Amino acid sequence: MTDIPREYVADTMAVVIWLEQRKLPLTVTEIFEMSNHIDSKISIWIPAIVLAEIGYLFEKGRIETSLTDVQALIAFNKRFKIADLTNDIILKSLEIKDIPELHDRLIAGTAYTFNCLVLTNDPKIEKSSFVKTILK
């Protein structure tokens, strides 16, 4: 990969699929793997709402990845960072009118605030005119 951005925002399923070692598009897998190297310059922001969704989905038995798994990843690797839900992110999220669900808006709003690409497979986020995505 050449000339790639240094920061990304990951949505819930991108994090889950990668941690569960399921198939992702090669570019996305490369981004996650490169950010996992000790000398990497790539960072991946994990919005706070993603942590909440992972905790909820694990509790309901819908995914194998637990909140503890994600917290261990973040503790082990400083290039995975939690993006706190700030007032700026909330305000930017409310500008995004073409994503109907609040949690998706908050993820997109994080990317919009940080000016990052979103790692996602959500078609509503992919179609948004407010953020750019990478997954397919």
CATH 3.40.50.150 fits 7-130, yes or no: no
Question: Is pTM beyond 0.85 here?
Answer: yes
Q: What is the pLDDT of residues 8-25, one digit of tens each?
A: 999 999 999 999 999 888
Residues of the chain with pLDDT below 50 are 1
* pLDDT score for 16: 96
* pLDDT score for 1: 46
* pLDDT score for 27: 84
Contacts of 95 (CB under 8 A, 6+ apart): 109, 112, 130
* pLDDT score for 13: 94
* pLDDT score for 66: 97
Nearest of 132, 129, 99, 119 to residue 50 by alpha carbon: 119
Q: Where are the domains of the chain?
A: 7-130
